[in-house]
Amino acid sequence: MNSKEKTFIGILAGATVICVGGLFVYAGKGTSRVETATEQFTTLSEEINKMQNLPLYPTAQNLTNKEKELAAYQANANQLAEKLQAMRPAQINNTDPQTFTNTLVKTAEETMKAYEAAGLTVEGETGPLPRGFYLGFENYTSTPAQQGATGILTYELAAISEVHSTLAAAKPVKLLNFMREPLPEEKNQPYTPTAGVPYRALPFEISFEGPESTMRNFINGLQTSKSHFFVIRSIRVMNEKPTGPKASDVEFEVKAPKAADGAIDGGAFDGFDNLIAPDAAPVPEGAPAVAEPPKPKEEPKGDSSRILKQVLGAENIQVFLRVDILLFDAPAAPKP
């Protein structure tokens, strides 16, 4: 074999080695791509299976069920809207300021009569009812209201009157405070509705004192109103006395002292044997009557009622509530 043949064989062997190496590298890359494609396929298959098992997967049956649920929800929403709209007056018209003042005075008098029937009257500066109480509209007893505000004020006055009538029927011990927030119309300013809120809130605060039954009956009365919609935003309840009873508050009953012979002095028959002897003869007619035995002395008894009230929960409570009167928006006009 000459030198040329050896060179050719060497070149051929080197080329073969290079080709075989290239084939191995290409095959390895192909295997890697296949594995990658297989993993992606498996991952996507699992995700698709999960999506198909979801309740909102767009199948014909799921679409039918969802349409039924939406129809039922819409019917319930319309029914609720009709009930809430029934609490909105058909019209809220403004009147002249003097008419509103007359309505205010009449309503306040009726409210005071309801409280008086429940046993509450105006007594001094700290009586059960505050002096000059006009349901939070005290300014309008001397100053006329803005004519543009008389309509909404009349509606709010009717709702607040119902609040106090409900409280009077619950029989509180004392009306501690009542305050309503002024409306923009009272300052001759326009009311700006809140976007996305289908009602207007007319807030007020009220606090009173009474037994627990007063609070329960008052809250139940607000929630069952058929004329106005009340929402209790916050409530705070405190005991009439913030501190518990002390040992020094207890006053035990005082026992009667005993005589030397062991008998209790002041008994029902004490001293009776000194008036009539055991062997005394019958009293003849016309003789002066024998004096009656002295009545026993009543010893003062301790007053533990405060202790029992605090222990048994019979003390009054002081209740503070922040409430909104909701005036729902008028229904939207039907689209042509």
33 falls in which pLDDT band (50, 70, 90)?
Answer: confident
Q: In this predicted structure, what is the pLDDT of residue 236?
A: 96
Residue 14 lies in a domain: no
Residue 97 sits at φ, ψ, to 5 deg, of -55, -35
Residue 69 CA to residue 83 CA, distance in Å, equals 21
Asked if residue 264 is part of any domain, the answer here is: no
Highest mean pLDDT among 52-56, 177-181, 190-194, 291-295: 177-181
- Phi and psi at 171, nearest 5°, equal 60, 70
Task: Report yes or no on 296 lying in a domain.
Answer: no
At 321, which CATH number?
3.30.70.60
Residue 270 lies in a domain: no
Percent of the chain with pLDDT over 90: 42
The whole-model pTM stands at 0.62
Give the pLDDT confidence score for residue 275 in this predicted structure: 46
Q: Tell me, yes or no, whether 108 lies in a domain.
A: yes
Query: Cα(248)–Cα(240) distance, rounded to whole angstroms?
Result: 19
Q: For residue 149, what are the domain limits? A: 97-244+314-328
**How does pLDDT run across 98-139, given as a tens digit for each residue?**
999 999 999 999 999 999 999 988 776 677 888 788 999 999
The residue that leads in pLDDT, 306 or 199, is 199
- Tell me, what's the pLDDT at 132? 81
Q: What are phi and psi of 233, to 5 degrees?
A: -85, -35
Binning the chain into helix, strand and coil, the percentages to the nearest 5 are 45, 15, 40
Give me the chain's average pLDDT, please: 79
Is 223 inside any structural domain?
yes
Contact at 8 Å (CB) between 127 and 172?
A: no
Whether 279 is covered by a domain: the verdict is: no
Of the two residues 48 and 26, the one the predictor is more confident about is 48
Specify whether the CB–CB gap between 204 and 230 falls below 8 A. Answer: no
pLDDT digits (tens, 9 = 90+) for 243-290: 766 666 666 555 555 555 555 554 444 544 454 444 555 555 555 555
Domain count, the chain: 1
